[in-house]
């Protein structure tokens, strides 16, 4: 049976491994300009396998957090919508990671389409799921303090995502995308840490 604190710890470890790997590739890949290159470009070439694995760990963290929060919520706004969106986002992210390992060689014309659809699905479902989850937590006993921060943080991620999509004259594409990813991953880290602390304080196991 899944338990709150182990699930939160698993998510934390997966998120930190993703952050460490993503940061390392920015320094290790001298062939790419980190300001201009989107993170997906780092999936190929040196350290590409490590980053694809880290993508899968991030997908795992997103799904685990969504399911754990649904399982251990008791508030009046408990709903399967947020964990469903998180799981779809995780599936999209895993598709990007796994597909980029063989699709470019197997189907070079189809690979960019699949990558784009999967990546857009991951970003959109994750950002909407964050808003819903933060909204639910506003009525969850013991979560009010964290929920207020997570609610504003989720809106920041949502606005930055659409600015990145629509504002072509804004920051370089690589920098803009990595900023969105950093805000989303930071939100997930805070949520996982809050879930772990909540489980420890209440004795939920």
Kindly tell me if the per-residue pLDDT of 45 is higher than 80.
yes
Q: Do residues 8 and 68 touch, judged by C-beta distance below 8 A? A: yes
- The burial of 152, by beta-carbon neighbours within 10 Å (0-12 exposed, 13-18 middle, 19 or more buried), is given as exposed
Query: Tens digits of per-residue pLDDT, 90-133?
Result: 999 999 999 888 877 778 888 889 999 999 999 999 999 999 99
Query: Tens digits of per-residue pLDDT, 185-200?
Result: 999 999 999 999 886 6
Q: Please count the CA atoms within 13 angstroms of the CA of 205 that sit on its side-chain side.
A: 1
Give the residue-averaged pLDDT of 172-182: 95
Query: Tens digits of per-residue pLDDT, 48-59?
Result: 999 999 999 999
Give the residue-averaged pLDDT of 132-160: 94
The model carries a pTM of 0.92
What was the pLDDT predicted at 202? Answer: 57
| CA gap 189, 183 in Å, rounded | 10
Question: Domain boundaries in the chain?
Answer: 4-202
Q: Do residues 55 and 39 touch, judged by C-beta distance below 8 A? A: no
């Amino acid at each position: 049976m899944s338990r709150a604190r182990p699930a939160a710890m698993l998510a934390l470890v997966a998120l930190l491994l993703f952050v460490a790997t993503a940061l390392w590739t920015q320094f290790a890949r001298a062939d790419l300009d980190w300001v201009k290159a989107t993170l997906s470009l780092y999936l190929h070439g040196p350290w590409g396998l490590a980053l694809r694995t880290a993508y899968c760990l991030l997908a795992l963290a997103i799904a685990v957090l969504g399911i754990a929060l649904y399982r251990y919520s008791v508030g009046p706004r408990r709903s399967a919508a947020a964990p469903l969106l998180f799981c779809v986002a995780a599936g999209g992210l895993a598709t990007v990671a796994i597909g980029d390992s063989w699709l470019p060689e197997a189907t070079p014309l189809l690979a960019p389409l699949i990558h784009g659809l999967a990546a857009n699905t991951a970003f959109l479902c994750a950002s909407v799921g964050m808003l819903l989850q933060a909204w639910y937590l506003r009525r969850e006993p013991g979560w009010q303090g964290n929920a207020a921060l997570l609610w504003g943080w989720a809106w920041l991620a949502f606005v930055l995502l659409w600015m990145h999509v629509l504002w072509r004259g804004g920051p370089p594409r690589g920098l803009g995308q990595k900023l969105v990813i950093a805000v989303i991953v930071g939100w997930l880290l805070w949520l996982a840490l809050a879930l772990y602390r909540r489980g420890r304080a209440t004795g939920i196991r």
